[in-house]
Amino acid sequence: MTGVTVVGGGLAGMAAAWEIRKSGVPVRLLEASAELGGMSGSKVIEGRVEDHGVHIFPAWYRNTLHLVEELGITGNLRECDNFYQLMPGEFPTFRTFQTISSMGDLIRDIRSGVTPAADRMLFYYGIIDLLAQRYHGRDESLASFLRSRWYLTEAVIADLEHLFVASSAAEGDLASAASFRGSVAAFSQHPGKVRMPRGSLQESFIGPFRKRLEDSGVEVRTGVELLEVSVDGDRLDSLTVRAGDTVTEPVTGHVVLAVPHGCLSRLGRPVTSALRPPFGVDELRSRPLGALHLYLRRRLPGLPNEHVRLVGSPHAITLLDVGQVWDGHTTSVLNCVVGRVSRLAELSESEAVKVLVDELMSYMPVLTWDDIEHVCYQPHFAVPFYAPGPGSDRFRPNSSTALTNLHVAGDFCAGPPGMAGMEGAVRSGLEAAESVRRVLRPDAPRVPIRDTDPVNPSAARVGKVALAPVAAALRLLAGRRRAPRKGSR
């Protein structure tokens, strides 16, 4: 039987290999680094297993969570009840945000004090307004959308931008409003508790996933780097790889390229011209999403054991004290995501660490330099995170190509707006597996792919119009609250 070679052992490649192998087709999986997982994996740095960042599994990650169930590792994830907000000068008092799944949750969030009640209600009106937009065939930057809304205060704009930057690394002027709308729609249509790993993602997810792949008969080879390919007519003809020696081998079956979009571009016109659409992959952009892990000498008092957002953080920092929830730790381990790590690109590592730690200390005065036993800083400038830009959806390639034996996967591939990250990677792997199935096993059942339910812009528009007078009153109230008193300076 014709076999399949999957090049790229990130989550997209692993998902593709898993689903293809389930259909009985021989599969080998090639990965350039020493471990599988890509951005969802971990690295051993100075003897410690370090995640790429802090990973979450929202309820709308339907394909990812189904995969977790299939692998039998649901117990490796824990449900989280709160998303804590830390305002400057308020430590150790945290304001809480819960997943909005009922009117009671909404009221509790408005009253949480993260922002004044009027601003918080305008925040949700802005969400309704975004959901009311029809971005079919058009797009705009998130910043353009926010700055054009007459009712939004600067506090609400900053809140919405931080929400996006902390997860995507893209500033508002570089972020797609249509993509942000897709993410918001996914959360609103599939509410539920967010889950987080009970250990590093390597231990909780990627390691068990690799074992199941190998147990199913997938040949996994790491340390194998793809250098170039050749095309003959309408088929991929050969792969040139380096695993110690450089070897060119003929392609006798099918190939899934589950590599970053930049790697596809470097393979040249023979590959990029075969993509569907056959142009535009060079237009896709990725941006670094930084990670700072601080190992402390003590358990830092006053910190919750769930996600914490530093409200107004200049570098869009969110953090989690994994030392409280991962086995084997008796002291705090602060895993921080740095959304605006690009601002530190001109600094040395030690200078960047000092800036970030000083920022953490400004929010948590209980933290001192003497508390820090070890630092791991990963700016990921060389391993950026795909961030959908305005209008980028038209450039995202489909999994099938014009070459009869070539398929592609990756979170940059075509999918519903807002679909990127782990869910985008898993979904694209399933799409690639379905593309393979249609050719090799046309009589086999389709590969199941679970999409998020769309939000009807018309329904959201009704809410927007109905609530417009309320928004006007709230904006007036917010403006009066900010106006200086007569005689004040």
Residue 277 belongs to a domain with what CATH number? Answer: 3.50.50.60
The pLDDT of residue 174 is 83
Q: In this structure, how many other beta carbons lie within 10 angstroms of the beta carbon of residue 367?
A: 20
Mean pLDDT, residues 316-344:
93
Q: Does 247 map to a domain?
A: yes
Residue 80, beta-bridge partner list: 194
Same domain, 217 and 360: no
User: Do 294 and 267 fall into the same domain?
Assistant: no
Both 218 and 280 in a single domain?
Answer: yes
Tell me which of 91-100, 209-218, 269-278, 419-428 is least confident: 91-100
Residue 75 resides in a domain? no
Q: What is the mean pLDDT of residues 391-414?
A: 95
Residue 176 has pLDDT above 80, yes or no: yes
pLDDT score recorded for residue 15: 98
Tell me which of 359, 378, 397 is where a domain ends: 378
**Based on the domain organization, do 408 and 344 belong to the same domain?**
no
DSSP state for residue 66 in the 8-state scheme: H
* Across 115-125, average pLDDT: 86
Paired with 338 in beta bridges are 290, 317
Are 305 and 372 in the same domain?
yes
3-class DSSP assignment, residue 274: coil
- The DSSP bridge partners found for residue 143 are none
Provide, for the chain, the percentages of residues in helix, strand and coil under a 3-state DSSP scheme, each rounded to the nearest 5.
40, 20, 40
Mean pLDDT of 273-282: 91
DSSP structural state of residue 37: B
Rounded mean pLDDT, 297-321: 93
Domain boundary (378, 409, 424) is at: 378
Q: Are the CB atoms for 301 and 94 separated by under 8 Å?
A: no
Which tens digit of pLDDT belongs to each residue from 15-66? Answer: 999 999 999 999 999 999 999 999 888 888 888 888 887 788 999 999 999 9
Give the pair of three-digit tokens for residue 231.
Answer: 């095309």
Distance between CA atoms of residues 380 and 401, nearest Å: 30
**pTM, rounded to two decimals:** 0.92
- Band the pLDDT of 481: cuts 50, 70, 90: low
**Pair (300, 363) in one structural domain:** yes
Amino acid at 250: P
Asked whether residue 231 is domain-assigned, the answer is yes
- Do both 267 and 399 map to the same domain? yes
Indicate whether 250 and 393 sit together in one domain: yes
Is residue 97 domain-resident?
no
Domain that holds residue 327: 290-378
- Greater confidence (6 vs 142) lies with 6
| Domain-embedded: residue 166 | no
Q: Extract the tokens encoding 194.
A: 């967010």
Q: Are residues 371 and 295 in the same domain?
A: yes
Domain edge (last residue) among 330, 356, 378: 378
Query: 309 and 250, same structural domain?
Result: no
* Strand residue runs (E) in 64-164: 77-80, 83-86, 95-97
Q: Where are the strands (E) in 269-327, listed by range?
A: 286-287, 290-296, 308-310, 317-321
Rounded distance between C-alpha atoms, residue 100 and residue 115, angstroms: 16
Say if residue 360 is in the same domain as residue 312. Answer: yes
Residues 393 and 281 in one domain: yes
480: confidence class by pLDDT, cuts 50, 70, 90:
low
Nearest to 303 by CA among 367, 224, 399: 367
**Is there a domain that residue 189 lies in?**
no
Q: What is the residue whose two structure tokens read 């400038």?
A: 381
355 within a domain of the structure (yes/no): yes
Q: At 425, give phi and psi (nearest 5°).
A: -65, -50
Predicted pLDDT of residue 110 = 65
Q: Give the total number of structural domains in the chain.
A: 2
Q: How far apart are CA 121 and CA 143, in angstroms?
A: 20
Angle, vertex CA 164, rays to CA 158 and CA 165, nearest 5:
80
How confident is the model over 236-257, as pLDDT tens digits?
A: 999 999 998 999 999 999 999 9
The answer to whether residue 412 is domain-embedded is yes
Q: Which secondary-structure segment (H or E) carries 277?
A: none
- Classify 426 as helix, strand or coil: helix
